Amino acid sequence: MKSMTKNLMAAALLMALPVGASFACTTTAWNGNTGAAAGAEAGGPLASTGGFARYSGDCALRTGAGEFVTDNTPGGTGSGGESVYRARFYVLTSGTGKVFSATTGDSNGGAEVVGVTFDGSAFTFSGATGVSPIPATANRWYSVEISHNSGGAFSAVVQGNGGATATTQSGTSAAASVGSASLGLLAGTGSMIVDEFESTRSADTAIGRLCPGDTNASGTYSATDLARIRNEILTILSASPVLAGGQPDANESGGVTATDISVVRAKILALQTACP
C-alpha cells in the first residue's frame, strides 16, 4: 500500500551540520495549504522555535482557531478521492474544537467525510455515523487513528495520557471519498498542538503508535533513553539545549520532566523494556 506521510518534523539537514545545529521546522510538505495555514506555527520546545511542546522529534504545529494545514495527496491530481482512507495524528488537547477534517474536495473543500473534534472531555467524530465519543483529558497528548471505508465500516482508535490501552469506537463511514485532509484547529477556542500525521490507503493495517519514552527508535526502554531525557530537562533553558529525540514525554503529559525519567526507569526495572 502506498503510504502518504506528511511529517511535521524538521526539514532535512545538510549532512555537514553538527547534531547541535538548529532545525528548520516547516509545513511545506503539506501540498494543499490554504490561507488558513499562514497562522499555523511550526516549532518546538526550544525558545528559538516557539517554546511549545512537541510529541516526537524536534517540531510540532501549534494552531489557533481557524489555523490548519492541508494535504491534497488523497486521490492524486484531478477529480476523485480515496474511498478507503486511514489517518493517524497526535494532538495535545490544549484547546477545544475540530482538529481534523477529511473532505471530498481539495484544499479542505467539498463535503466533510470524517471529522474529529475535542470538546474538552472527549473526542467526537463527524462524517461517519453511529460513533460514540471517546473520553479524553484536557492538556494531554493523544494519538487518534481513523479508518474510513466509503459506505462501510468506520473506526476510531484513541490512546494517550500515558494510558496502557487504546479505546476503539466503530460506526458507519460516510458514502464518500477523501480528496484532502486538514489538521490543526479548524474551528474552536484556544490553541491545539498537533504532530506526527500519517495516512495510508489500507483498510486493514493500522498505522499504529510511536513509542512514548523511546528516544532513539530502538523499540525498547534503556539507559540511553534515560540519558537523553535527562539531558533535555537539564539543558532546555540553557544556551546550548539538547533535545532528546524520539518521544521523550513518556507519560504524554505535555511536558518533558523528571516524571518521564521515573516512568522509563520504572519500566526498565519492571522488565517492561519492549515498547508496547
Binding site for other proteins (CB under 8 A): 215-216, 222-228, 230-231, 234-235, 242, 244, 265, 268-271, 273
Question: Rounded to the nearest whole angstrom, what is the least distance from the CB of residue 233 to other proteins in the complex?
Answer: 10
Question: Rounded to the nearest whole angstrom, what is the least distance from the CB of residue 44 to other proteins in the complex?
Answer: 18
Question: Rounded to the nearest whole angstrom, what is the least distance from the CB of residue 140 to other proteins in the complex?
Answer: 26
Nearer to other proteins, 81 or 246 (CB): 246
Question: Rounded to the nearest whole angstrom, what is the least distance from the CB of residue 54 to other proteins in the complex?
Answer: 18
Which residue do the cell numbers 466503530 mark? 170
Inter-CA distances, 203 with 28, 154, 197, Å:
28, 10, 17
Structure-block grid coordinates of residue 85: 482512507
Question: Rounded to the nearest whole angstrom, what is the least distance from the CB of residue 60 to other proteins in the complex?
Answer: 21
Nearer to other proteins, 84 or 226 (CB): 226
Radius of gyration of the chain (CA): 18
Nearer to other proteins, 31 or 231 (CB): 231
Nearer to other proteins, 10 or 178 (CB): 10
Q: Which amino acid is at 238?
A: S
Nearest to 84 by CA among 128, 6, 145, 147: 147
Structure-block grid coordinates of residue 216: 532513539
Task: Give 75-113 as a DSSP string.
Answer: T-SSS--BSEEEEEEEEE-SSEEEEEEEESSSTT-S-EE
CA atoms within 13 A on the CB side of 59: 20
Question: Rounded to the nearest whole angstrom, what is the least distance from the CB of residue 48 to other proteins in the complex?
Answer: 20
Kindly compute the dihedral angle of the four CA atoms of residues 143, 148, 152, 153, in this order, to the nearest 10 degrees: -10
On whether the CB atoms of residues 103 and 112 are closer than 8 A, the answer is: yes
Nearer to other proteins, 14 or 19 (CB): 19
Which residue do the cell numbers 528559538 mark? 48
Give the Cα separation of 186 and 115 in Å (integer): 10
Nearest to 97 by CA among 63, 132, 135: 63
Question: Rounded to the nearest whole angstrom, what is the least distance from the CB of residue 160 to other proteins in the complex?
Answer: 25
On whether the CB atoms of residues 23 and 13 are closer than 8 A, the answer is: yes
Nearer to other proteins, 36 or 244 (CB): 244
Nearer to other proteins, 175 or 269 (CB): 269
